[in-house]
Structure formats: structure tokens, C-alpha cells
Amino acid sequence: MSNKSFSSWYQSGSPWVWLNAGAVSISLVMVVGLLLLIAVRGLGHFWPADVMSITYNDPDKESTTLIAEAVETEVVSATRLKKVGVHLPEGQVTGERHLLKVGNRDYFGLDFLWINGVWMGETSYPKDVIAIERREWGNFYGYLTTVKQQGEAVATGDMAWDELQKRLERSNNLVAEIKSIEKNEIGKINHGLEELRLQKRQHELDGLPEGSLAYHEIEQERKQWNVLYQGLQKQLADLYAALNRDQIMVTISDGREVEIPLAKVVDVYRPNAMNVFQKLGFYFEEVWKFVSGEPREANTEGGIFPAIFGTVMMVMIMAVLVTPFGVIAAVYLKEYATQGPMIRLIRIAVNNLAGVPSIVYGVFGLGFFVYFLGGSIDEIFFQAKLPSPTFGAPGMMWASLTLAILTVPVVIVATEEGLSRIPRAIREGSLALGATKAETLWRTVLPMTAPAMMTGLILAVARAAGEVAPLMMVGVVKLAPALAVDNIAPYLHLDRQFMHLGFHIYDVGFQSPNVEAARPLVYATAFLLVMIIIILNMSAISIRNRLRETSKASEN
């Protein structure tokens, strides 16, 4: 290419077009690659990996047999191996070490174990080895020997597996029934007794004398609740007795035979005996349990449904709160306020608010919403509950309001830009036909600005769904005992604390006592959070596109 041709090509701007296109392409590849990495490392955790039986010949100890899942393999230098007492053959500069999930933490003291490849002996994949998912202490690996009922053997050998499956289904059904009674029926009774206590306390504050008819009615109702409670306690005692009926005997890798109550078992499977289709079915079942279940073992086991529910509900409440405030502020600034230095100063302040660190909003929410506003509400409406706070404590409502304040500048700016794009002739035509300014705004301008409003809402949702720092101060907790929605009136409890996917990622990733077990759940939860944000944004984008098409049709 001649200098003249190159100069002409350079001055045409084509290099910058290609540079921008390349930068966008690289960014897209990096984002997609990151999502794929998170998805593979997170969702791969639920695949039923084969369980190995390994002979391990540690020269400092006796030869042992390990039953474990292979988790990770890394290549390390000979110098590093030498520091831990591993000597490679002469001339070999690197060696392998393997991370195994050995489970049985209550017997071995740890879930995961690093072993050196040079000391590994014979490796096999026995068909009869079982993996047990427990409610406590993580996974368990071994060989099933006996199924017991009340301490007496009912099945051994080949018959034990089929008998175990039947009794495990019965055990899980009993656990679900117990959980339903404790959470729903007894929850209603506790709520009813608490309401009676508050009624009695309110009568005392009102100066109602002891022995009056109101106190007598409260006592009669309390007796009815106590009768119901005693009946449920007897039912629960029978269910627990039936639940504790069955046990299994399992031989672990060091030869010990241990007893495991079926009441502590969630699932049992034989991964080495499963074909691809069985593993695939098991995989989707485990993913569903992760999405729909509740957390266990300091959030390193079980599911994350409460966190999903809390995240989605908080974002929806925030969206309902931030949209009218943002739109009203934008309409006032653009349509009603006299443009001058004060309005320019307000716009600068709004733009600057978008750059304030989110933790500052958390401090504001805690001080203003929780302590001042919530405390005042408790003083006026919930005196009977004091000193226990109702709205004077972090909860769903204050978290949603805090995020609404955090994201309202985005909605204001987007709505103002949408209002600026409406031609002045449309406003003047509406006014010329006899419409008032308010009617012009409500029936003509705002419908045409709806796509811009939805754009602001999309940006607000995308930011709010991933915020964690302010939520730690105004409502989010490690483990919420109850959801904000249940079957107890008024059914929606905005004063309750809640779980959030972002905080769940932080807690599992940095506060977990079992780092290796928590790592894949961090990836899985992060991937799920990204998917939820994408779904919420796509829903809003779909609504925006429909509003845009409606606006175009009305213009035509």
C-alpha cells in the first residue's frame, strides 16, 4: 500500500471503526468465556462423579486404601514436592498431586485430601461403592453391608440395596411431613400465641382492668391454641419415632463398619454402576434440588431457594418504588421547573449521586429508614411489641427503599432524556386542541416516553440485583428462618430479614469453614445470579419493545 493510499485510508476513519469493532468483539468473547467458565465449574459440581478406590503408599505411614472422588490435579515442581518429603526419580523436574474428596468428615476429620501421584498405587472403580448425601457432615463413601430396623438386620448382601431405596423414600417422606408441621402448623400456633400476648400487652397499656371480659377471651383462645399445640406435639413425637426406626451399616475405607441413621440421609447412589442416562437424570435432579431447596451445613450444602426468592422479591419491590419517584422527579425537572441555576445544580447533584459508593447508601438506610423512620413507626403503631422492634430493625422494606434511593438517579436521567426526545410540536398540538398541560403529559407525552422509562428501570434492576454492601446493613442475613411471604396473615411480611444471592456468594466464598466444598457452590450461585439478572432484564426489554411499538403505532 502506497503512502498516499495509507493516508487516505487512515483519514477515512476506517482504522478506528475496525479498532472499535475488535474491542467489542474481544469484550464479548471475554464475557462469554467468563460465563462458560463459571457455568462449567459451578454446574459440573452436580454431576455424579465416579468414586475411586486407591491404594496409597505413603513411606512415612502404613499403606492405606482411600475411597474418594477425583476433584483436581495439578503439576508442581520437584523442589516444591521435596519440601513435603516427596522425592521424584532422578531427572524428573515436575510431578503431579491430586485433590480427592474423601468425605466421611466425622470419621476422618476432613472432606478433602491432597495426595502425591508418585505414591499412588492400584486404582479401581468398584460397582458396589455407595455415595451418601447426608443432612450433616457432608458426603459419605463406603460399601453397604446391612439394612437395619430398630437395630435388627432386615436385609444384607445384594438385597440390602433394594431395601435401602424403599426405606429411604419412606424416611424422606417423614422428614418432609415433619418439616411441614413444624413450619406451617406450629408456625401458625406460635403466631397466634404471639398475637394474644400483644393483645394482652395493649390492654395493659390502655389501662384495662385485670379480670375484664377482654382478658377472659384472650385466656380462652390461648387454651385452644395450647390444645392444638399439644396434639401436634404428640403427632410429631410419633413421626420422629417412625423416622428413627431405620439404620444402615456401611464399611468405610479403613475397614471400620459404622451405623448411619436413615433420618440423616438425603440420598444414596452408586455412581460407578450408573450409565450415562442415569447420571444425566440424577444430574438434573441435583440441579433442581439446588435451585428449590434450603441451605444446610453453613450454606455449603443443600439449595439456595430462599436466596433466589429474596433477591427477586427485593428487586421487584425496588422497581415498584423507584419508577414513580424517578418519573415524577424527571417530569418536574423537565416540564414544570423554571430552568435556571438551581435546576442545573439539582441535575448536577442527581448525576453525582449515581457515583456515590453504595455503602454510603447503606449507612443512610440504616440511620434514616431503620432507626429513625422504622423506630417512629414502632412507637406509633407497635407499642405493644416494644422493646422488640418490628420496623425498627433491618428488613425487606428498608432494603428495597435503600436500593430505590441508590438507583433513582438512573431512572431520572433516562426519563429526562426520553422527555427531551419528544417533539415540541406534539405538546403544542395537544394544547391547541384544548387539552390541559397535565392531560398532555398523562395521555400524550408520558406514553411516548415509556420506552425511556423502561430503559432506566432496566439499568436500575441490573445494578440493584448485584449490590451487596448496603444490603448487609439494612436487611440481608446469612440464613433467614422464614420467607417474607407465607400462609400467615398478612401473608407479605416486609419487616422480615431475607437472604440474597450476592451476599450468599460472599458468605460461602469467604466465610465458609469448608473452603473446598464451598468453591463449586460459589460458581453455581454466581452463575444463577447472572441468569436471574439476564431474565429480569430481558423481561423489561420485552416490555420496553412492546411499548415502543405501541408508541410508533399511535404516532402513525
Give the highest mean pLDDT range of 256-270, 334-348, 444-458: 256-270
pLDDT at residue number 78:
74
Work out the pLDDT band at 261, boundaries 50, 70, 90: very high
User: Per-residue DSSP letters for 107-119?
Assistant: HHS-SEEEEEGGG
CA distance 489 to 486: 8
Work out the pLDDT band at 227, boundaries 50, 70, 90: very high
Which residues have C-beta within 8 Å of that of residue 55, sequence separation ≥ 6? Answer: 63, 64, 65, 120, 121, 122, 123
| Mean confidence (pLDDT) of the chain | 87
pLDDT at residue number 432:
85
Strand partners, 251: 143, 257
**pTM to 2 decimals?**
0.88
pLDDT at residue number 210:
79
Question: Is 86's pLDDT higher than 70?
Answer: no
The SS3 assignment for 90 reads: coil
pLDDT at residue number 174:
94
What are the cell numbers at 134?
447426608
Q: Mean of the pLDDT values across residues 382-390?
A: 85
pLDDT at residue number 458:
86
Question: Is 553's pLDDT higher than 70?
Answer: no
pLDDT tens column, 112-137? 988 888 888 888 999 999 999 999 88
Work out the pLDDT band at 543, boundaries 50, 70, 90: confident
pLDDT at residue number 428:
82
Orientation angle between helical segments 446-466 and 396-420, nearest 10 degrees: 140
pLDDT at residue number 136:
86
pLDDT at residue number 90:
67
Question: Is 1's pLDDT higher than 60?
Answer: no
The SS3 assignment for 76 reads: strand
Question: Is 229's pLDDT higher than 70?
Answer: yes
CA distance 393 to 111: 38
Lowest model confidence (mean pLDDT) among 169-178, 270-279, 458-467: 458-467
Question: Is 554's pLDDT higher than 80?
Answer: no
pLDDT at residue number 542:
84
Work out the pLDDT band at 544, boundaries 50, 70, 90: confident
